[in-house]
Amino acid sequence: MNAFYTELTNCFKLFLITFCLLFISTLAVAQEQSESLLDHVILKSHIDDLPGISKRKKIRALVSYSKTDFFFTSTGTPKGLQVDLLTEYEKQLNAGVKKETDKIRVQYIPTTFNRLIPDLLEGKGDIISTLMTITPKREEKINFISGKIARIQELVVSHKSISDINSLEDLAGQQVYVLKGSSYVEHLKELNQAFKEKNLAEINIVEADPHLMTEDILELVNSGVIKLTVSDGYKARIWAKILPDIRVLDSVAIKSDTHIGWAIRKNNPELQKSLNTFLKKIKKGTYLGNMLFNRYYKKDTWIKNPNADKERKKFLAFIDLFEKYGAQYGFDSLAIAAQGYQESRLDQKKKSHRGALGIMQLLPSTAADKNIAISDIHKAENNIHAGVKYMAFLRDRYFSDPNISKKDQMAFSWAAYNAGPAKVRKMRALTKKMGLDPNIWYSNVEVAAAKMIGRETVEYVSNIFKYYIAYRLVQDQVSRQ
């Protein structure tokens, strides 16, 4: 426990503000500003320095939507470590400014992790507001704000069933599933070069889908779908308090003494000076560990392993039906199976308090609608048929625009299945108002969804997508055998 708090404190002493006394007022400010934080994002690209930012009264923070750095509560309030930090930085920028109209406000620009650096360089944001690992390759493109004070380790994390990984050499020939575009990929490749010189088998490095964050991958490890991944040590230890089936391997560090920080473009010296001033004011707090854990990490309904023996038997019992109706209506059968698993754990006997029935948790009235017209959904085949046909109706009626990718058509249809097409229409309208892309669910409409109605629909789509990844991983493994 002492080691956990020591590393966690060392990691965040770069950024953590001494707002013990201001804790309540900070929360109040964040909540009051929640309506304006994401609205009216400036769509034009800007690569100018702090004077230009001050003139626009907007400083754009590129964030990755995650359960750690930036997310929404069930009431639609933005939360996360980066929200707190940038709220404090906003105070520094506005010190002595009396008129509200003259104050600089932070605007959050959600994007996927692998797009953070490209979007910064293209002028879509002013700061990468994520604790990103500093590497020589990244320093060629961007400047980091960190002072290189805090040091972290990049540690291997395994499922509890794995007992034979005790050193770096034990990774030889193993498959390691990691965040796409992360420093973990870079450092694992360096390790592979060292293995090659020692005549050891290379690590099979698998980069995750760009819509999965480290927290998502840790959930997949916890469920047993993935056996090995890499995470920053502080983050892995936090999530190990919540995810009971992961093991943080302290003795297996693919990189030690790395540094983290925010990042900006190289041609913004005034912004760098301002952020460095902010950095010098930051001090660690003794309440740090509990504050982070209690505010940002709490127990939830974590995803399960749909490929566990018992669950696999249910999957095999219904896969022919998912394939039959998936092909009939133009869906990936595994994506529909993943939806069925999220809805009911593939339990045809399940009935919700609202009267939704079976594997696809469909209301009899929905199945009886003229657009679906399938009766007796108490039977598994009819239930699956009705659910898939309803998904096709949602996709074809509301999301068939050719400007919407197939992946996003699927995500929108899932969201509409959960929340209703009218709400998804409102989500997309809000997304456009916020300056994000209404044709993209991930890191765009999902942000508006969380802001508008809370986390339920966002987590619904996210969980289905993770179950889909789980099914695909197993299918890919079988096909390679």
Q: Would the pLDDT of 393 be above 70?
A: yes
Model pLDDT, residue 109: 87
On whether the CB atoms of residues 346 and 311 are closer than 8 A, the answer is yes
Burial of 94 (0-12, 13-18, 19+ CB in 10 A): middle
Strand partners, 231: 155
Check whether residue 120 and residue 22 sit in a common domain.
yes
Q: Which two tokens stand for residue 415?
A: 């969201």
239 and 157 share a domain?
yes
Residue 18 has pLDDT above 80, yes or no: no
| pLDDT score at 24 | 30
pLDDT score for 119? 94
pLDDT classification of 478: cutoffs 50, 70, 90: low
Is there a single domain that holds both residue 331 and residue 460? yes
Residue 440 sits in which domain range? 309-480
Q: Does 344 reside within a domain?
A: yes
pLDDT tens per residue, range 28-60 = 343 344 344 444 444 578 999 999 999 999 999
Q: Is the pLDDT of residue 300 over 60?
A: no
285 and 329, same domain (yes or no): no
Q: What is the pLDDT of residues 263-274, one digit of tens each?
A: 999 999 999 999
Q: How far apart are CA 384 and CA 399, in angstroms?
A: 21
- Euclidean distance between CA atoms 360 and 350, whole angstroms: 9
User: Residue 281 pLDDT > 90, yes or no?
Assistant: no
- pLDDT tens track for 71-114: 777 666 777 878 888 888 999 999 999 999 899 999 888 888 88
Domain assignment present for 161? yes
- 163 domain-assigned: yes
Q: Is residue 265 part of a domain?
A: yes
Length, in residues, of the chain: 481
124 and 104 within one domain: yes
Catalytic positions, written as ranges = 343
Among residues 217, 243, 244, 216, the alpha carbon closest in space to that of 228 is found at 217
Percent of the chain with pLDDT over 90: 62
HSE-CB at 73 with a 13 A cutoff on CA atoms is 14
DSSP state, residue 135? -
Burial class (CB in 10 A: 0-12, 13-18, 19+), 372: buried
Tokens representing residue 28 in the block? 């109040």
Provide mean pLDDT across the span 430-436.
Answer: 87
Provide the CATH number for the domain around residue 399. Answer: 1.10.530.10
314 and 451 fall within a common domain: yes
Query: How many domains is the chain partitioned into structurally?
Result: 3
Q: Are residues 268 and 235 in the same domain?
A: no
Structural domain includes residue 37? yes
Q: What is the pLDDT of residue 110?
A: 84
Q: What is the pLDDT of residues 154-175, one digit of tens each?
A: 999 999 999 999 999 999 999 9
Q: Sheet containing 246-258: give its strands across.
A: 228-232, 152-159, 246-258
H or E segment to which residue 27 belongs: helix 23-32
Residues 187 and 334 in one domain: no
pLDDT-derived band at 146 (thresholds 50, 70, 90) equals confident
d(C-alpha 401, C-alpha 399), whole Å: 6
Report, as an integer, the average pLDDT of 327-345. 97
Encode pLDDT of 442-451 as tens digits. Answer: 989 998 998 8
Say whether both 169 and 239 belong to one domain: yes
Rounded to 5 degrees, what angle do the CA atoms 263, 265, 268 make?
A: 110
CA distances from 253 to 9, 159, 168, 196, 207 (A): 19, 16, 7, 18, 18
Between CA 358 and CA 384 the distance in angstroms is 8
**Is residue 251 domain-shared with residue 290, that is, in the same domain?**
no
CATH number of the domain at 66, please: 3.40.190.10
291 has pLDDT over 80: no
Q: Is residue 303 part of a domain?
A: no
Written as six digits, the tokens of 297 are: 């990490």
Question: Does residue 252 form part of some domain?
Answer: yes
pLDDT, one tens digit per residue, over 237-262 is 888 988 999 999 999 999 998 888 89
- Regarding whether 234 and 88 lie in a shared domain, the answer is no
Average model confidence (pLDDT) across the chain: 85
**SS3 (DSSP) at 326:** helix
In a domain, 304, yes or no: no
Query: Do 90 and 218 fall into the same domain?
Result: no
pLDDT digits (tens, 9 = 90+) for 184-238: 999 999 999 999 999 999 999 999 998 898 989 999 999 999 999 999 998 898 8
